[in-house]
Structure 1
Amino acid sequence: MNDEASPQKKKPTKLRTVGWRELVDLPHLGLTGVPAKIDTGARTSSLHATVLEEFERDGERFVRFAVDFGPHNERHICEAIHIDMRGITSSNGETQERMIIKTPLKIGTLTFRAEISLADRSDMRFPMLIGRSSLRRRFAVDSGHSWLQTPGGKPDKGQIP
Protein backbone atom coordinates (compact mmCIF):
# COMPACT_ATOMS: atom_id res chain seq x y z
CA MET A 1 0.00 0.00 0.00
CA ASN A 2 1.23 3.47 -0.86
CA ASP A 3 1.98 5.48 2.30
CA GLU A 4 1.03 8.74 0.58
CA ALA A 5 -2.48 7.45 -0.13
CA SER A 6 -3.18 6.33 3.45
CA PRO A 7 -4.93 8.86 5.67
CA GLN A 8 -2.90 10.53 8.38
CA LYS A 9 -3.78 9.20 11.80
CA LYS A 10 -4.07 11.89 14.41
CA LYS A 11 -2.10 11.36 17.55
CA PRO A 12 -4.61 10.95 20.39
CA THR A 13 -4.73 13.93 22.72
CA LYS A 14 -4.13 13.24 26.40
CA LEU A 15 -7.35 14.26 28.12
CA ARG A 16 -7.54 15.35 31.75
CA THR A 17 -10.18 13.62 33.84
CA VAL A 18 -12.89 15.53 35.69
CA GLY A 19 -15.32 14.16 38.23
CA TRP A 20 -19.07 14.74 38.11
CA ARG A 21 -18.57 17.87 40.21
CA GLU A 22 -15.64 20.29 40.43
CA LEU A 23 -14.81 23.72 41.80
CA VAL A 24 -14.04 26.06 38.89
CA ASP A 25 -12.87 29.65 38.45
CA LEU A 26 -14.06 32.40 36.12
CA PRO A 27 -11.03 34.69 36.52
CA HIS A 28 -12.21 37.62 34.33
CA LEU A 29 -15.44 37.71 36.33
CA GLY A 30 -13.60 37.61 39.67
CA LEU A 31 -15.24 34.31 40.64
CA THR A 32 -13.26 31.52 42.31
CA GLY A 33 -14.29 28.19 43.75
CA VAL A 34 -17.64 28.06 41.95
CA PRO A 35 -19.29 24.65 42.54
CA ALA A 36 -20.02 23.15 39.12
CA LYS A 37 -21.80 20.04 37.96
CA ILE A 38 -20.25 18.36 34.92
CA ASP A 39 -23.06 17.50 32.49
CA THR A 40 -22.30 15.89 29.13
CA GLY A 41 -26.02 15.96 28.34
CA ALA A 42 -25.96 19.75 28.16
CA ARG A 43 -24.36 21.40 25.14
CA THR A 44 -23.74 24.85 26.63
CA SER A 45 -22.33 25.67 30.04
CA SER A 46 -24.60 27.70 32.30
CA LEU A 47 -24.05 30.07 35.23
CA HIS A 48 -26.64 31.11 37.82
CA ALA A 49 -27.04 34.84 37.28
CA THR A 50 -29.53 37.64 37.55
CA VAL A 51 -29.19 40.04 34.62
CA LEU A 52 -29.06 43.58 35.92
CA GLU A 53 -28.35 45.65 32.83
CA GLU A 54 -27.28 45.56 29.19
CA PHE A 55 -25.04 48.37 27.97
CA GLU A 56 -22.55 49.34 25.31
CA ARG A 57 -18.87 50.18 25.82
CA ASP A 58 -16.48 51.08 23.00
CA GLY A 59 -18.97 49.79 20.44
CA GLU A 60 -19.36 46.37 22.08
CA ARG A 61 -22.43 44.98 23.83
CA PHE A 62 -21.93 44.14 27.51
CA VAL A 63 -24.08 42.69 30.24
CA ARG A 64 -23.85 43.38 33.98
CA PHE A 65 -25.18 40.57 36.15
CA ALA A 66 -25.23 39.33 39.73
CA VAL A 67 -24.00 35.88 40.75
CA ASP A 68 -25.03 34.57 44.17
CA PHE A 69 -23.25 31.53 45.60
CA GLY A 70 -21.19 30.31 48.51
CA PRO A 71 -22.00 29.29 52.04
CA HIS A 72 -23.44 32.73 52.80
CA ASN A 73 -24.93 33.25 49.32
CA GLU A 74 -22.59 36.18 48.66
CA ARG A 75 -23.50 38.45 45.76
CA HIS A 76 -20.85 39.15 43.12
CA ILE A 77 -21.47 41.80 40.44
CA CYS A 78 -19.85 40.84 37.11
CA GLU A 79 -19.55 42.32 33.62
CA ALA A 80 -18.87 40.46 30.38
CA ILE A 81 -19.20 40.91 26.65
CA HIS A 82 -22.67 39.79 25.57
CA ILE A 83 -22.04 37.77 22.41
CA ASP A 84 -25.43 36.26 21.61
CA MET A 85 -29.02 35.42 22.55
CA ARG A 86 -29.89 31.74 22.08
CA GLY A 87 -32.76 29.40 22.63
CA ILE A 88 -31.50 26.90 25.23
CA THR A 89 -33.54 23.83 26.10
CA SER A 90 -33.42 23.31 29.86
CA SER A 91 -33.52 19.98 31.70
CA ASN A 92 -37.32 20.20 31.97
CA GLY A 93 -37.64 20.40 28.17
CA GLU A 94 -38.59 24.08 27.98
CA THR A 95 -36.72 26.37 25.59
CA GLN A 96 -35.65 29.71 27.06
CA GLU A 97 -33.98 32.67 25.37
CA ARG A 98 -30.73 33.21 27.25
CA MET A 99 -27.85 35.66 27.07
CA ILE A 100 -24.54 34.08 26.12
CA ILE A 101 -21.20 35.42 27.29
CA LYS A 102 -17.69 34.22 26.43
CA THR A 103 -15.12 34.32 29.21
CA PRO A 104 -12.11 32.35 30.44
CA LEU A 105 -13.01 29.27 32.49
CA LYS A 106 -10.46 27.50 34.67
CA ILE A 107 -10.87 23.84 35.54
CA GLY A 108 -7.89 22.50 37.48
CA THR A 109 -4.79 24.03 35.89
CA LEU A 110 -6.34 24.46 32.43
CA THR A 111 -7.80 27.85 31.45
CA PHE A 112 -9.72 28.31 28.18
CA ARG A 113 -12.45 30.56 26.76
CA ALA A 114 -15.95 29.15 27.15
CA GLU A 115 -19.41 30.18 26.03
CA ILE A 116 -21.71 30.35 29.05
CA SER A 117 -25.43 31.04 29.20
CA LEU A 118 -26.78 33.17 32.03
CA ALA A 119 -29.78 31.51 33.68
CA ASP A 120 -31.79 31.31 36.87
CA ARG A 121 -30.36 28.20 38.52
CA SER A 122 -31.71 29.04 41.98
CA ASP A 123 -33.63 25.74 42.08
CA MET A 124 -30.46 23.78 41.23
CA ARG A 125 -27.91 22.35 43.64
CA PHE A 126 -24.96 23.81 41.67
CA PRO A 127 -24.68 27.46 40.54
CA MET A 128 -22.78 26.35 37.43
CA LEU A 129 -23.14 23.59 34.92
CA ILE A 130 -20.27 22.66 32.59
CA GLY A 131 -21.59 21.39 29.24
CA ARG A 132 -19.96 19.22 26.61
CA SER A 133 -18.83 22.13 24.40
CA SER A 134 -16.46 23.21 27.19
CA LEU A 135 -15.32 19.64 27.85
CA ARG A 136 -14.71 18.58 24.23
CA ARG A 137 -11.09 17.71 23.39
CA ARG A 138 -10.00 18.79 26.88
CA PHE A 139 -11.56 16.48 29.45
CA ALA A 140 -12.88 12.98 29.96
CA VAL A 141 -15.55 12.56 32.64
CA ASP A 142 -15.37 9.97 35.42
CA SER A 143 -18.94 10.11 36.72
CA GLY A 144 -18.08 7.90 39.69
CA HIS A 145 -15.76 10.48 41.28
CA SER A 146 -15.70 14.13 42.33
CA TRP A 147 -13.09 16.87 42.71
CA LEU A 148 -10.52 15.26 40.37
CA GLN A 149 -9.42 18.69 39.04
CA THR A 150 -10.16 20.70 42.18
CA PRO A 151 -6.90 21.98 43.72
CA GLY A 152 -6.69 20.73 47.28
CA GLY A 153 -9.85 18.72 46.67
CA LYS A 154 -9.80 15.19 47.90
CA PRO A 155 -10.99 12.87 45.11
CA ASP A 156 -13.90 10.82 46.36
CA LYS A 157 -16.68 8.57 45.19
CA GLY A 158 -19.50 10.88 44.19
CA GLN A 159 -21.63 11.31 47.31
CA ILE A 160 -23.89 14.36 47.29
CA PRO A 161 -23.00 16.71 50.19
Structure 2
Amino acid sequence: MISGEFAIPKKPLTTIGWREMVQLPELGLSRIPAKIDSGARTSSLDAEVIETFEREGEQYVRFVVDFPDSKVRQICEAVHVDWRGITSSNGETQRRLVVKTPLKIGDVEFRAEFSLADRSGMKFPMLIGRSALRRRFLVDSGHSWLQTPGRKPVEGHKP
Protein backbone atom coordinates (compact mmCIF):
# COMPACT_ATOMS: atom_id res chain seq x y z
CA MET A 1 0.00 0.00 0.00
CA ILE A 2 1.28 3.43 -0.92
CA SER A 3 1.56 5.95 1.93
CA GLY A 4 -1.66 7.94 2.28
CA GLU A 5 -3.71 5.31 0.40
CA PHE A 6 -6.71 3.82 2.18
CA ALA A 7 -8.40 0.47 1.71
CA ILE A 8 -12.01 0.96 0.63
CA PRO A 9 -14.58 -1.51 1.96
CA LYS A 10 -16.07 -3.76 -0.72
CA LYS A 11 -19.62 -2.95 0.44
CA PRO A 12 -21.04 -0.03 2.40
CA LEU A 13 -21.23 -0.58 6.16
CA THR A 14 -24.51 -0.23 8.06
CA THR A 15 -24.55 2.62 10.58
CA ILE A 16 -25.81 1.76 14.07
CA GLY A 17 -26.30 3.87 17.18
CA TRP A 18 -24.66 3.47 20.60
CA ARG A 19 -27.66 1.39 21.65
CA GLU A 20 -29.91 -0.85 19.55
CA MET A 21 -32.58 -3.51 20.01
CA VAL A 22 -31.13 -6.77 18.69
CA GLN A 23 -32.21 -10.38 18.17
CA LEU A 24 -30.70 -13.80 18.79
CA PRO A 25 -33.05 -15.71 16.45
CA GLU A 26 -31.81 -19.29 17.11
CA LEU A 27 -32.27 -18.71 20.84
CA GLY A 28 -35.78 -17.29 20.40
CA LEU A 29 -34.71 -13.93 21.87
CA SER A 30 -35.89 -10.68 20.28
CA ARG A 31 -35.91 -6.98 21.17
CA ILE A 32 -32.94 -7.27 23.51
CA PRO A 33 -31.63 -3.83 24.49
CA ALA A 34 -27.92 -3.82 23.66
CA LYS A 35 -25.18 -1.31 24.29
CA ILE A 36 -22.77 -1.02 21.38
CA ASP A 37 -19.27 -0.87 22.86
CA SER A 38 -16.34 -0.68 20.45
CA GLY A 39 -14.02 -0.51 23.47
CA ALA A 40 -14.94 -4.06 24.51
CA ARG A 41 -13.45 -6.90 22.47
CA THR A 42 -15.99 -9.59 23.34
CA SER A 43 -19.78 -9.34 23.29
CA SER A 44 -21.62 -10.35 26.45
CA LEU A 45 -25.12 -11.57 27.34
CA ASP A 46 -26.75 -11.50 30.78
CA ALA A 47 -27.35 -15.18 31.49
CA GLU A 48 -27.32 -17.74 34.25
CA VAL A 49 -25.57 -20.96 33.19
CA ILE A 50 -27.52 -24.09 34.10
CA GLU A 51 -25.37 -26.85 32.64
CA THR A 52 -22.96 -27.92 29.93
CA PHE A 53 -23.64 -31.11 27.99
CA GLU A 54 -22.74 -32.99 24.83
CA ARG A 55 -25.04 -33.59 21.86
CA GLU A 56 -23.95 -35.54 18.77
CA GLY A 57 -20.29 -35.09 19.73
CA GLU A 58 -20.57 -31.31 20.16
CA GLN A 59 -20.37 -29.34 23.42
CA TYR A 60 -23.44 -27.27 24.35
CA VAL A 61 -24.47 -25.02 27.20
CA ARG A 62 -27.97 -24.55 28.60
CA PHE A 63 -28.61 -21.17 30.20
CA VAL A 64 -31.39 -18.87 31.34
CA VAL A 65 -32.01 -15.31 30.18
CA ASP A 66 -34.32 -13.26 32.42
CA PHE A 67 -36.42 -10.32 31.31
CA PRO A 68 -37.49 -8.90 34.70
CA ASP A 69 -39.65 -6.10 33.26
CA SER A 70 -41.92 -8.62 31.54
CA LYS A 71 -41.33 -11.38 34.13
CA VAL A 72 -40.19 -13.77 31.39
CA ARG A 73 -37.48 -16.40 31.85
CA GLN A 74 -36.20 -17.96 28.61
CA ILE A 75 -34.22 -21.22 28.68
CA CYS A 76 -31.72 -21.33 25.80
CA GLU A 77 -29.21 -23.80 24.38
CA ALA A 78 -26.20 -22.91 22.24
CA VAL A 79 -22.96 -24.43 21.04
CA HIS A 80 -20.29 -23.99 23.72
CA VAL A 81 -17.27 -22.55 21.92
CA ASP A 82 -14.76 -21.98 24.71
CA TRP A 83 -13.92 -20.89 28.25
CA ARG A 84 -12.12 -17.53 28.18
CA GLY A 85 -10.63 -15.05 30.58
CA ILE A 86 -12.66 -11.86 30.03
CA THR A 87 -11.52 -8.60 31.61
CA SER A 88 -14.45 -6.46 32.70
CA SER A 89 -14.62 -2.66 32.69
CA ASN A 90 -13.46 -2.60 36.33
CA GLY A 91 -10.26 -4.46 35.36
CA GLU A 92 -11.28 -7.78 36.92
CA THR A 93 -10.70 -10.93 34.86
CA GLN A 94 -13.37 -13.63 35.00
CA ARG A 95 -13.41 -17.08 33.40
CA ARG A 96 -16.58 -17.18 31.27
CA LEU A 97 -18.32 -19.58 28.93
CA VAL A 98 -18.45 -18.37 25.33
CA VAL A 99 -21.19 -19.42 22.91
CA LYS A 100 -21.70 -18.73 19.22
CA THR A 101 -25.11 -18.01 17.72
CA PRO A 102 -26.67 -15.82 15.01
CA LEU A 103 -27.11 -12.15 15.96
CA LYS A 104 -29.39 -9.79 14.06
CA ILE A 105 -28.98 -6.01 14.18
CA GLY A 106 -31.46 -4.30 11.86
CA ASP A 107 -31.38 -6.27 8.59
CA VAL A 108 -27.85 -7.63 9.14
CA GLU A 109 -27.62 -11.19 10.49
CA PHE A 110 -24.38 -13.03 11.22
CA ARG A 111 -22.87 -15.53 13.70
CA ALA A 112 -21.29 -13.91 16.75
CA GLU A 113 -19.61 -15.05 19.95
CA PHE A 114 -20.96 -14.02 23.36
CA SER A 115 -19.61 -14.57 26.83
CA LEU A 116 -22.31 -15.52 29.33
CA ALA A 117 -22.10 -13.24 32.36
CA ASP A 118 -24.07 -11.79 35.22
CA ARG A 119 -25.01 -8.37 33.85
CA SER A 120 -27.95 -7.94 36.24
CA GLY A 121 -26.35 -4.81 37.71
CA MET A 122 -25.88 -3.27 34.26
CA LYS A 123 -28.35 -1.06 32.40
CA PHE A 124 -28.20 -3.26 29.27
CA PRO A 125 -28.54 -7.07 29.34
CA MET A 126 -26.34 -7.31 26.25
CA LEU A 127 -23.12 -5.65 25.19
CA ILE A 128 -21.96 -5.87 21.56
CA GLY A 129 -18.16 -5.67 21.31
CA ARG A 130 -15.83 -4.79 18.46
CA SER A 131 -15.22 -8.38 17.32
CA ALA A 132 -18.89 -8.62 16.28
CA LEU A 133 -18.94 -5.09 14.81
CA ARG A 134 -15.77 -5.40 12.71
CA ARG A 135 -16.26 -5.06 8.94
CA ARG A 136 -20.04 -4.92 9.35
CA PHE A 137 -21.00 -1.67 11.05
CA LEU A 138 -20.08 1.95 11.61
CA VAL A 139 -21.05 3.21 15.08
CA ASP A 140 -22.56 6.69 15.37
CA SER A 141 -22.05 7.37 19.08
CA GLY A 142 -24.27 10.46 18.89
CA HIS A 143 -27.42 8.49 18.01
CA SER A 144 -29.52 5.58 19.30
CA TRP A 145 -31.93 3.09 17.71
CA LEU A 146 -30.77 3.71 14.11
CA GLN A 147 -31.41 0.03 13.22
CA THR A 148 -34.30 -0.64 15.60
CA PRO A 149 -37.66 -1.05 13.85
CA GLY A 150 -40.47 0.71 15.67
CA ARG A 151 -38.14 3.04 17.59
CA LYS A 152 -37.57 6.60 16.50
CA PRO A 153 -33.83 7.35 16.22
CA VAL A 154 -32.63 9.55 19.08
CA GLU A 155 -29.83 12.10 18.90
CA GLY A 156 -27.53 12.56 21.86
CA HIS A 157 -26.68 10.55 24.93
CA LYS A 158 -28.98 10.57 27.94
CA PRO A 159 -27.73 8.20 30.66
- TM-score band, normalised by shorter chain: over 0.9
Aligned CA RMSD, in angstroms, stands at: 2.0
Consecutive aligned runs of 4 or more in structure 1 exceeding 3 Å deviation: 8-11, 158-161
Q: Which of residues 80, 91, 97 is equivalent to 2:95?
A: 97
What is the match of residue 131 of structure 2? 133
**Unaligned residue ranges in structure 1 (runs of 5+):** 1-5
Q: How many residues align?
A: 157
Larger radius of gyration: 1
Percent identity, aligned pairs only, is 68
Residues 76-127 of structure 1 show CA distances to partners (whole Å, capped at 9, x for unaligned) of 1000010100000001100000000010000000000001100000000000
The separation in 1 between residues aligned to 2:97 and 2:36, in whole angstroms, is 20
Residue pair 2:60, 2:78 contacting (<8 A) in 1 also: yes
- Return the letter of the residue paired with 1:90: S
CA shift digits 1:119-156 (9 cap, x unpaired):
00000000000000010011011111100011122101
Q: What is residue 21 of structure 1 aligned with on the other side?
A: 19
1:19: how far off? 0.5
- Give me the TM-score of the superposition, normalised by structure 1: 0.91
Q: TM-score, normalised by structure 2?
A: 0.92
Checking the alignment, whether the CA contact within 8 Å between 1:20 and 1:158 is kept in structure 2 is no
- The equivalent position to 2:144 in structure 1, one of 131, 143, 146, is 146
* Alignment CA distance shift 1:157-1:9 (3 Å): closer
Alignment partner of 2:131: what SS? helix
Can you give the 5+ residue segments of structure 2 that lack an aligned partner in the other structure?
A: none
Which residue of structure 2 aligns with residue 46 of structure 1?
A: 44
Offset at 1:71? 2.3
1:29 counterpart letter in structure 2: L
